[in-house]
Structure 1
Amino acid sequence: MNKTIIEPSKGWKVVDFDELWRYKDLLYFLTVRGIKARYAQSILGVGWAIIQPLFTTLVFTVVFGGLAKVDSDGMPYILFSYLALWPWNYFSGTLSESANSLVANAGMITKVYFPRLILPLAAIFSKLLDFIISFVVLLILLIYFKVVPGLGIIWLPLLLIQLLMTSLGIGMILSAMAVQYRDIKYALTFIIQLLLYGAPVVYSTTAVPEQYQFLYSLNPMVGVIEGIRAMFLNRPIPWDWIWPGSIVAIIFFVFGLFYFRRMEKVFADVA
Structure 2
Amino acid sequence: MERGSDNEIVIQAGGSVANYWRDLWHYRELFVFLAWRDVLVRYKQTAIGILWCVLKPVTTMVVFTVIFGRLASLPSNGVPYPVLVFSAMLPWQLFAGTLTDCSSSLVDNANLLTKVYFPRLLVPAATLVVNLVDFAVAGAIFAGFMVWYGVAPGLNLLLLPAFLLLALLTAVAAGLWFAALNVRYRDFRFLVPLLVQFGLFVSPVGFSSAVVPESWRFFYFLNPMAGVIEGVRWAILGEAPRLSIPGFTLSIFLVLALLVGGVVSFRRMERSFADVV
TM-score, reference length from structure 2: 0.92
Structure 2 unmatched runs, 5+: 1-7
Shift of 1:17: 3.3
Equivalent position of 1:222 in the other structure: 226
Displacement after TM superposition at 1:237 (Å):
3.5
The change in CA–CA distance for 1:135 and 1:3 in structure 2 (over 3 A counts) is closer
Contact 1:152 1:231 in 2 (8 A): yes
Q: Tell me: CA distance 1:14–1:208, structure 2 relative to 1, closer, same or farther (3 Å).
A: farther
Residue among 137, 140, 153 paired with 1:133: 137
1:103-142 → structure 2 map (5 Å cutoff): 103-142=107-146
Q: C-alpha displacement at 1:120, in angstroms?
A: 0.4
Distance 1:28 1:46 in 2: 20
Q: Return the alpha-carbon distance in structure 1 between the equivalents of residues 261 and 11 of structure 2.
A: 28
- Name the SS of the counterpart of 1:182 in structure 2: coil
Q: Against the structure 1 CA distance between its residues 15 and 242, is the aligned structure 2 distance closer, same or farther, given a 3 Å change threshold?
A: farther
Residue equivalent to 1:252: 258
1:234 and 2:256 matched: no
Distance 1:239 1:15, change over 3 A: farther
Could you tell me how far apart the structure 2 residues matched to 1:5 and 1:37 are?
A: 31
Tell me, which stretches of 5 or more residues in structure 1 are unaligned?
A: none
Counterpart among 245, 262, 265 of residue 268 in structure 2: 262
Using the TM superposition, give the Cα deviation of residue 5 of structure 1 relative to its aligned residue in structure 2, in angstroms: 4.3
Name the amino acid aligned to 2:274. Answer: A
C-alpha spacing 1:80/1:119, structure 2 compared with 1 (3 Å): same
| Count of paired positions | 268
Residue identity (%): 37
Structure 1 3/151 Cα, relative in aligned 2: closer, same or farther at 3 Å?
closer
What is the CA-CA distance between 1:248 and the residue it aligns to? 0.5
2:170 to 166, 173, 185: 166
Aligned partners of 1:3, 1:237: CA distance in 2, in Å?
A: 53
After the TM superposition, list the runs of 4 or more consecutive aligned residues in structure 1 that deviate by more than 3 angstroms.
Answer: 2-5, 14-17
- The answer for the alignment partner of 2:43 in structure 1 is 39
Residues 50 and 137, structure 1, Cα contact 8 Å, conserved in 2: yes
DSSP-derived class of the 2:188 partner: helix
Give the one of 195, 211, 218 matched to 2:215: 211
